[in-house]
Amino acid sequence: MTLAAAQIFAEGIVADTRIFYYRQEQNPETYIYLHGLSDSSPGDLPVVIAPRAEPDGRWIMGLNDGSVLAAKPEYFAERMQAWREFVGR
């Protein structure tokens, strides 16, 4: 796991490739850890993503630079494609 992923979800519980992130007064959600990055990988690649879009259509994603954002579907798709190309999938 990259340092950014660990920092982004420091309050979650990491189990294998799943990150359980607790939102206040909600059941825990399983966030998805994307393998294949290192601390020296580009910072704008996603390392952790939400399992589904939010009600407004945005996707919560953590980038390898340690930032977290609610991405519009187009940007989410663009970053996921960049991750696939980087890791060769």
For 33-62, what is each residue's pLDDT tens digit? 898 998 899 999 999 898 889 889 999 898
Report the pLDDT averaged over residues 62-80.
92
Confidence (pLDDT) at 46: 95
Cα separation, 61 vs 71, in Å, equals: 7
Sign of the C-alpha dihedral computed for residues 18, 51, 79 and 67 taken in this order: negative
Instruction: Look at the pTM and tell me if it is higher than 0.85.
Output: no
- Cβ pair 43, 63 in contact under 8 A: yes
Confidence (pLDDT) at 66: 83
Report the pLDDT averaged over residues 53-76.
90
State the amino acid at position 50 in one-letter form: A
Name the nearest CA neighbour of 67 among 2, 1, 7: 7
